[in-house]
Amino acid sequence: MKFSPSLFEFHNVTLTRQDNEILKSVNCTVLKGEYCAIIGPNGGGKTTLIRLLMGLDKPTSGTIKLFGVEQHQFKAWHKIGYVPQRSALVDASFPATVREVVAMGRYALRGILSFESAEDKRIIEESMEQMAVSDLRDRLIGHLSGGQRQRVMIARALASHPEVLIVDEPNTGVDVESQHRFYELLRSLHKTRGISILFITHDVGVIAEDISKLFFVNQTLLVSQTPQEIVGCESISRLYGNPSHVLTHNH
Amino acid sequence: MIEMLNYPFMQRAFAAGLIIAILAAISGSFIVLRRYSLLSETLAHVSLVGVSIGILIGSNPLWMAIIASLVASWMIEYLRSVHHLYSDSILAIFLSGSLALAIIIVSLAGSFNASLFSYLFGSILSVTNEDLIIMAIAGTAGMALLLLFFKELYFIAFDEEVARASGIRVGLLNFMLVSVIAVIIALSIRVVGTLLIGALMVIPPVAAIRFGLGFFKTMLLSIAIALVSVIIGLSASFFFSLPSGAAIVLCLLLFFIAALVINLP
C-alpha cells in the first residue's frame, strides 16, 4: 500500500467567539493527492475552517498541522495556493493588469528588493497559459468577466507552484458555463499536475463523480467519507436539516 | 525663469518639494488603493500638534511634527488592526482631536502669527538648511523602505487576505507603511502646509488611475503629476507671491480635471 503524507491535520480544533461555538472539536486529515470537497449549510463554518487552516483565524483550542509541521512553525506557505471567497470581485478601476496579478503569486518566494528572475518569468507565463489568460495579460483585472477573473486568480495561486490548491466557493458571481469549465479545470489540475485540491462548494451535484473525500461542516465536522456514501438525497436532507435534491451536471 | 534658482531659498524649496513629491506620490498610491486616503489628512493635522509644541518649547517644529505624526500613526493602526474600530471613525477622531489640541497649545503659547500661517499653507521662504538635511535623511529612509517592500505593499493593497495567507507579514508592513507616511507628511508641512498635504498624496494617484494603466505605469504617472505640480506651484509661488501649498494643490486639481475629461466614460 502506497503511503500518502498528510497535507493538513486538525486535532480537536475548536473556535469560540463571544461564547458562540463557531466550530467544535474538528478532527480531520487531508492527504497528499486527494481531491476533497467541503459542503455544508450557510453559516456552518466552511470558510472559517479554511481560514483556520490558512492561519487567518486562530483556534480557541486544538492544533493544526500543515505538511506535518505545527501551524505556528510553518513557513512554506507557497506550497498552498489559496483562492478565497469572492476574490474574483475586484474593483473595476484597480490598477492591476492580469500579468501583475499573476506575478503576485511569486512575491512570497522572492526576497526583498529582488527583481523577477528568468524562472519567475517562465512560471508566470506558464501559469497564465495553463489558465488560458495569456491573451489578457495587459488588460486590467477589473475589466474582465467573472469567469476570466476567476481563472486569473487560480493562475496567481498556481504561480507559487503549490502542492495543494484551496478554493473557497469558486463560483460566486460566475455564470453556469464558466462554472462547468471551472470544475473541469480543477479535475485537470489534479490529474495532470498532481495538485491536491480542497474546495468549498454549495454545488453538491458536481462532487458526485470523482471526489476522493468529502467534508460536511455544520459547526463541527460531521462527515468525512467517500462521496458515494453521502450524495444520496436522503443523506443530504438529513445533514442540511431539510428536504434536498441532488442535481448532477454532465461534465 | 531659471534665474529664480539663483536664490538659495528657492533652491531649498525646490529640493524639498521634489523629495516630497516623489515620496507623497508613491506612498499616496498605496493609501488610495486601500481606501485610506483620509489618513494623510489626519496625520497632517496631528503634525500641527507637533509644530505647536515645537513653537511652545522653542524646539525645531519639524522634529516635533515627525514625532507627533509617528506616534499618532501607530495609535491609529493599533486601534484599527487590534481593536477592529472602523478606520474612518478613528481618523475622524484623531483629525478633530489633534486640531483642537494644536489650537489650545498655540493659544497658550500666544503664537497665532505668520510662522504658524506658513505651517498651515506652506511657504517657500520657510525651508531652512536644517529642514533640508532632515528631509534628505528621513526621505531617503522612507524611500528605501517603500522600495524594499514595494511588491509586498502592492500585494496587500490588492488582496490583504491572500497576502497574509502567502506568508507576507501584513501587520508589520501596515505599521511600516503608516510610519513612513507619517514621516513624509511631517516633512511636507514646510513646503505644502498641513492643510494641503493630503492633496499631494491623494490627487496624483487618483488622477493617474483614471488612465486605466497597470500599477507600475500608474505609479510612474502619479510621480510625474506630483513632480510637475510641485515645479509649477513653486514657480507660481515665487512669481506671484502665492502660498506655495495652495499653488501646488491648484495645479494638482487641474491635472485631476484633465484626467477626468480625457478619460470620460
pLDDT at A128: 94
Is 90 exceeded by the pLDDT of residue B28? yes
Measured between beta carbons, the chain A residues lying within 8 angstroms of B151 are 104, 107, 110
Sign of CA dihedral B189, B191, B192, B198: negative
Measured between beta carbons, the chain B residues lying within 8 angstroms of A86 are none
| Alpha-carbon span B69 to B189, nearest angstrom | 12
Measured between beta carbons, the chain A residues lying within 8 angstroms of B26 are none
Cell numbers describing residue A227: 462521496
Q: Report residue A206's pLDDT band, with 50, 70 and 90 as the boundaries.
A: low
pLDDT at B258: 96
Measured between CB atoms, does B172 come within 8 Å of chain A? no
Contact A96 B148 (CB under 8 A): no
What is the β-pairing status of strands A196-200 and A35-39?
Answer: parallel
CB-CB contact of A161 with A195 (8 Å): no
DSSP state of A114: P
Contact B214 A97 (CB under 8 A): yes
Measured between CB atoms, does B154 come within 8 Å of chain A? yes
**Residue that the C-alpha cell 487590534 belongs to:** B82
Is 90 exceeded by the pLDDT of residue B129? no
The model's pTM is 0.85
Task: Give backbone dihedrals phi and psi of A196, rounded to 5 degrees, phi first.
Answer: -70, 145
Highest mean pLDDT among A36-45, B31-40, B50-59, B224-233: B224-233
CB-CB contact of A189 with A197 (8 Å): yes
The ipTM (two decimal places) reads 0.83
Give every strand in the sheet of A35-39, ordered side by side: A80-83, A164-168, A196-200, A35-39, A213-218, A220-225
Residues A149-173: tens digit of each pLDDT: 888 999 999 999 999 999 887 666 6
**Residue A138: alpha-carbon gap to chain centroid:** 26
Contact B155 A107 (CB under 8 A): yes
Of B155, B159, B209, the CB nearest to A95: B209
What is the β-pairing status of strands A20-31 and A6-17?
Answer: antiparallel
CB-CB contact of B91 with B42 (8 Å): yes
Measured between beta carbons, the chain B residues lying within 8 angstroms of A97 are 214-215
Cell numbers describing residue B71: 506616534
Measured between beta carbons, the chain A residues lying within 8 angstroms of B215 are 95-97, 100
Contact A95 B158 (CB under 8 A): no
| Alpha-carbon span B187 to B16, nearest angstrom | 9
CA–CA distances in Å: residue B182 to residues B36, B134, B199: 13, 14, 15
Residues B58-79: tens digit of each pLDDT: 888 888 999 999 999 999 999 9
**Residue that the C-alpha cell 531617503 belongs to:** B140
pLDDT at B227: 96
Is 80 exceeded by the pLDDT of residue B29? yes
Is 50 exceeded by the pLDDT of residue A231? yes
Is 90 exceeded by the pLDDT of residue A244? no
Task: Give backbone dihedrals phi and psi of A214, rounded to 5 degrees, phi first.
Answer: -125, 130
Residues A74-125: tens digit of each pLDDT: 989 989 999 987 666 778 889 999 999 999 999 888 877 778 899 999 999 9
Measured between CB atoms, does B148 come within 8 Å of chain A? yes
Burial bucket for residue B241 (CB in 10 Å: 0-12, 13-18, 19+): exposed
Q: Report residue A240's pLDDT band, with 50, 70 and 90 as the boundaries.
A: low
Sign of CA dihedral B30, B36, B41, B47: negative
Contact A95 B215 (CB under 8 A): yes
pLDDT at A251: 41
